[in-house]
Amino acid sequence: MSSVANVVVKRQGRWRHWLLGLSTLGLALGLPALVVAQSPVKGAAALPPVPIESFFQRPAVLAAKLSPSGQKLALTTARGGNRVGLVVLDLTQPGAQPKRAATFADSDINEFYWVGDNRLVFGLRDLEDAENSRRYGPGLYGVNPDGSNLKQLIHRQNAAPDFFIADERMLDGKYRLLMVPEQQPAVAPDEVLIGLHESGPDYEVTHISPMWLNVRNGRTRSIDLKEPPHTLRWMFDSKGEARVALTHHKGRMGFHWRGPGDLNWRLLAESDELDPPFEPEAVDDLGNLYVRFSDGPEGLKVLSRFDFDKGVPRKPALVVVPGFDFTGRVLGGHFGERALGVRVISDGEQSIWFDEGMKRMQALADERLPDRVNRLSCARCGAEDMVVLVRSSSDRDPGRYYLYEAANKRWQSISIVMADIDPERMATVELHRIKARDGRELPVWLTQPADAKSGQALPAVVTVHPGPWRRGSYWEWEPYAQFLASRGYLVINVEYRGSAGYGDAHYKAGWKQWGQAMQDDVADALLWAQQQGRASNKACIYGAAYGGYSALMGLVRHPDLYRCGIAAVAWTDPFLLLQGSWIGTDNISNYARKYWLPQVLGDAQKDKALLTANSPLAQAKQIRAPVLLAYGEKDMIAPIAHGEKMREALHEAGRPPEWVSYAGEGHVWLQTNNKVDFIRRVEKFLAQHLKSEAP
């Protein structure tokens, strides 16, 4: 393998292209095979709008993974049933029918892993009921690829065990899967690493203790790690050897290291939880520790190996992504070797390979599927007989799966991810960099309708990402933005200050700026689009969670810019968020309220005036535009009390909002019929206020 070189990631130009001439495995699965989209014929009658249901359908394939040998392919799919099940295809038997390894009548398989070639483990979630999904832990189950020897290994917390498949040694629901080791030479692939989550006051996790679990017979064995107190996160090498222990306690965090052959842990760094000197990303089998740290005037995160002699990350960095934080993952290497490469997200996702064989494979996939994001996962990665699973997607295409066998240079189509989406009718996504009113650079994403004419100013929907302390958009297909664009709106999403992914300076510039500079950034993105002739003077503001808060504050701060506002699962009262209340029970921990939220949002006592001035609830009388409020009745992050208090305040102000709440739904709505109902209301609301002439 070649030596690892320092890499500067570049943005890639992208366009659309369709792959032809593939043999098809998808038909055997009952899944859609490759469809080549046809552009509408010039002069033909206009096509009807894409149905709302098409954007929010459950994907045909949720996830797909090769077995370690590359001879089997496992997929999660709801095809052939109402729930997401686990299906396995034997790739050595052309034309063989797939086998349904596991399915449940009341739950969905939401994650799964191969443990060797002849055993899978998986957990469950209820993707139809938010309350059940929150109440019951995922548990852990083991099954053979043909569906035999199905055993429940870890109890689903708060759920009754399934006595038909429960192992007599089944662990209680406080245990969680931590890691599945890579298959090792001459070692039977029978065990996975699990962790006991020990809780302290207020149900906060205070410690995670790893142990081994046999996925065939349910037996466990302990590990003498002598770990540091308050360890809440672990990193392991491919064999499952613990290398990094991350501790959290009273607002402080520590990074501890135990290298190959070491008996004791070594403290690498300790810091305030909001200002770590670096962040561990991964370890490899040669004892390398890969870390992220802030570099340069904007504090952009870069990836490097840690220098244990000097006690700091090495410079120059291993991977630099100009204009973006390093976001992605280190791609594991062969047993006993260093990493194969890194997966990086700049505007879109890219894979940077250190291994020469994988470099050639990526180039082959990108040549065959140009101007798309082609994510590779493989068995015998880089070898002449490797088997590669390719997930290929773009801003206009939710994705397609292909299989490549290097030994015979054969490509096969597996499945389209979402069958009812025609990429030719989808919108394009662009990233721009603009200047805010105070000179700060703001990344702005535009989703442009497919049939938009050059120079045409469109009615705009300014969508505020839910963050706030996260990144908002990527160059990818996103259902809400695509739906809005399909109805003729220009969709504007700004990475306002406080957003992650664009450097520490941008992130920290948003601290204690709710409703202030953060809100100005949202307005400046719309004003820029109007000045560019892309957006008309008809605009609404729309968001969920923090985005819903921002939608309401936009109507307070910039009433002349927006004709309407849509706020879903929105925080409306900063004091309720910071302090909690019996009228709005939530699951925000006391730890966050004590050590984190006062620094980034504000202190309820010291910053009372600031928080009141930037509270949609306190400023409800300033709102004059029509408002649509939507909540999940079981939301434990933004409890419905936020919405009910806001609805009452708007009634008192003489501006009663449109209102909808969904029984059984939480902070993220799970049921397709509820998503469709809400978006139908959004469609009607926007048409009423943006497509009519009267403001």
pLDDT of 438 higher than 60:
yes
Edge-to-edge, what's the strand order for the sheet holding 349-353? 328-331, 341-345, 349-353
Quick check: 122 pLDDT over 70? yes
The angle subtended at Cα 213 by Cα 329 and Cα 203, nearest 5°, is 75
Note if the bond before 468 is cis, omega within 30 degrees: yes
Domains and CATH numbers, the chain: 427-690 (3.40.50.1820)
Distance of CA 597 to the CA centre of its chain: 22
Q: Judge whether residue 107 has pLDDT over 70.
A: yes
CA pair distance 484, 450, nearest whole angstrom? 11
How many C-alpha atoms does 370 have within 13 Å on its Cβ side? 6
Do 531 and 444 form a contact (C-beta atoms < 8 A)? Answer: no
pLDDT at residue 28, as a whole number: 39
How crowded is the C-beta side of 260, counted as CA atoms within 13 Å? Answer: 11
CA distance 140 to 128: 20
Mean pLDDT score of the chain: 89
Which stretch of 4-18, 56-70, 184-198 has the lowest confidence by average pLDDT? 4-18
Furthest CA-CA distance within the chain: 75
Contact indicator for 115, 125 with CB cutoff of 8 Å: no
How many H helices and E strands in the chain? 13, 39
Query: Is the per-residue pLDDT at 196 higher than 50?
Result: yes
Find the distance separating the first CA and the last CA of the chain, reported in whole Å.
Answer: 64
Angstrom distance (rounded) from CA 62 to CA 75: 7
Candidates 330, 328, 303, 331; CA nearest to 388 is: 331
pLDDT for 11: 53
Residue 95's pLDDT band, with cuts at 50, 70 and 90, is confident
User: What pLDDT does residue 374 have?
Assistant: 98
| 685: its two tokens | 């609301």
Give the residue-averaged pLDDT of 23-42: 39
Query: Which pLDDT band holds residue 313 (cuts at 50, 70, 90)?
Result: very high
pLDDT score, position 250: 86
Whether the pLDDT of residue 53 is over 60: the answer is: yes
CA neighbor of 614 nearest in space, from 670, 560, 556, 672: 556
Closest CA to 287 of 308, 256, 310, 270: 308
Per-residue pLDDT band at 24 (split at 50, 70, 90): very low
Q: How confident is the model at residue 15 (pLDDT cuts 50, 70, 90)?
A: very low
pLDDT greater than 70 at residue 528: yes
Average pLDDT, integer, range 287-298 = 96
pLDDT at 44 exceeding the cut of 70 = no
Residue pLDDT, tens place only, 209-245: 899 999 999 999 999 899 899 999 999 999 999 999 9
The mean pLDDT value for 572-584 works out to 84
Using DSSP, state whether 257 is helix, strand or coil.
strand
pLDDT over 60 at 20, yes or no: no
158 pLDDT more than 90 = no
Q: What is the pLDDT of residue 580?
A: 83
Mean per-residue pLDDT for 316-329? 95
245 touches 229 (CB < 8 A): no
Which two structure tokens, joined as six digits, stand for 82? 């109402």
Q: Return the SS3 of 142.
A: strand
pLDDT at 86 over 90: yes
Please, what is the angle between helix 672-690 and helix 479-486, to 10°?
40
Residue scoring higher pLDDT (50 or 273): 50
Q: Which residue has the higher pLDDT, 126 or 589?
A: 126
Q: What is the pLDDT of residues 323-371, one digit of tens each?
A: 999 999 999 876 667 789 999 999 999 999 999 999 999 999 999 999 9
Q: How confident is the model at residue 693 (pLDDT cuts 50, 70, 90)?
A: low
What is the structure's pLDDT at 27? 32
User: Residues 225, 229, 234, 235: is their CA dihedral positive or negative?
Assistant: negative
Q: If residue 676 lies in a helix (H) or strand (E), which one and from where to where? A: helix 672-690
pLDDT at 200 over 70: no
pLDDT on residue 589: 80
- Structure confidence at residue 197 as a pLDDT band (50, 70, 90): confident
Write the pLDDT tens digit of every residue in 254-277: 999 999 999 999 999 999 988 999
Beta bridge partners of residue 434, listed in sequence order: 442
Left, alpha or beta for 80 (phi > 0: left; psi -120 to 50: alpha)? Answer: left
Mean pLDDT for the stretch of residues 239-254? 93
What sign for the dihedral angle of Cα 355, 356, 361, 364? Answer: positive
Predicted local confidence at residue 160, as pLDDT: 62
User: Per-residue pLDDT for 615 more than 70?
Assistant: yes
pTM of the model: 0.91
Residues 272-290: what's their mean pLDDT? 93
Asked if pLDDT for residue 156 goes beyond 80, the answer is yes
- From 91-100, 587-596, 675-684, the region with the lowest mean pLDDT: 587-596
Greater pLDDT, 670 or 426: 426
Q: In the chain, pLDDT over 90 holds for what percent of residues?
A: 75
Task: Please check whether residue 348 is in contact with residue 475, taking contact to mean a CB–CB distance below 8 angstroms.
Answer: yes
**Of 72-86, 548-562, 571-585, minimum mean pLDDT range:** 571-585
Q: Which residue has the higher pLDDT, 474 or 590?
A: 474
